Amino acid sequence: MPSEKMRYLDRKPEPWFELPDLSDGVAPHRILPVANRSVLVLYAQEPYLAWIDQTNPAQGALLRANPAWQRTAMLIPCCSTEAAAEPWLREWCHLILAEYLSWYTNQISLWPQDRSWNTFTAWFDYDLITRLRDLDNDPLRAVEED
């Protein structure tokens, strides 16, 4: 019986990706394609959670009860280090903040006036994932959310 790895390698490739020739027993440097994006994983911190508690207490309670909801991932331009990603983040942090604020109220008057880098770094911690491999053959596209 073939191993799980061999069954994967023997399966028919998706149209977007051709498996490399492995008949000589030597694996290539990369088997799976790398997407031209990095992943920014944001983790909500207490100041953000406190703002939601004040603005929308019911949603704040739900968010606190579901820690997985306190983080989200965003595709960003390809960056090899957090230092390389920081200029992009500084430029776009106000837009990321606006996205997060709009999840809990569409009344801009309730949003904090300061939506700067300082607010962003106080409200969120983040990790950068530098290599993204997209194993789905469905093209990346925007979807409508409720």
> Domain count of the chain?
1
Query: Which residues lie across from 77 on neighbouring strands?
Result: 37
Range of the domain at 118: 42-129
User: If you ran DSSP here, which 8-state letter would residue 35 be given?
Assistant: P
| 27, two tokens | 């694996």
Domain presence at residue 7? no
Nearest-angstrom CA–CA distance, 100 and 123:
10
Q: Which residue has the tokens 């569409």?
A: 106
> Which tens digit of pLDDT belongs to each residue from 35-94?
889 999 999 999 999 999 999 999 999 999 999 999 999 999 999 999 999 999 999 999
- Position 97 scores a pLDDT of 92
Instruction: Report the candidate in 5, 24, 38, 32 with the shortest Cα–Cα distance to residue 135.
Output: 32
pTM beyond cutoff 0.85:
no
Label residue 125 by pLDDT band (50, 70, 90).
very high
